Amino acid sequence: MPVTDDETLDEILDSETIAVVGCSTTPGKAAHDVPKYLLEHGYDVIPVNPFADEIFDRPAYDSLADVPDGIDVVDVFRPSEEVSEIVADVLERDDVATVWLQLGITDDESGQRVESSGRRFVQDQCLKVQHERLRG
């Protein structure tokens, strides 16, 4: 069952490194503005976008498999139908504790796979909105 309680959401916000799958180079898009907000609030943001070399003066990676650094949270800005493949990449790593699907993105079956592996799963919620609400 996806995480919805404030206590667990707040624990997730204690994470340090967030890989943003679908991070955008275009200001004004949520997939750009949310990771920028997270970066400005002290998170180590790792952009994942196969069509960009760099975002926020940081290297952008083609996929989660290409990220050499440890990842605490994978924040997904991709259509729901792409979540299953992203989750497969997450399950190949042993460092990701949480998969977070942004507003409008859901995949219950992938969520069950994530939770069965002992990780947390959030769907259809904005990381920035929850950060503002819980951390003000």
Extents of the domains making up the chain: 6-135
- pLDDT-derived band at 33, boundaries 50, 70, 90: very high
Tell me what pLDDT residue 9 has: 98
Paired with 19 in beta bridges are 46, 74
Decide if pLDDT at 42 tops 90: yes
CB 80 within 8 A of CB 107: yes
Tell me what pLDDT residue 112 has: 98
Half-sphere exposure of 60 (CA within 13 A, CB side): 20
What's the CATH fold of domain 6-135? Answer: Rossmann fold (3.40.50)
Tell me what pLDDT residue 132 has: 98
Tell me what pLDDT residue 136 has: 83
pLDDT tens for residues 78-113? Answer: 999 999 999 999 999 999 999 999 999 999 999 999
Q: What phi, psi does 120 have (nearest 5°)? A: -90, 150
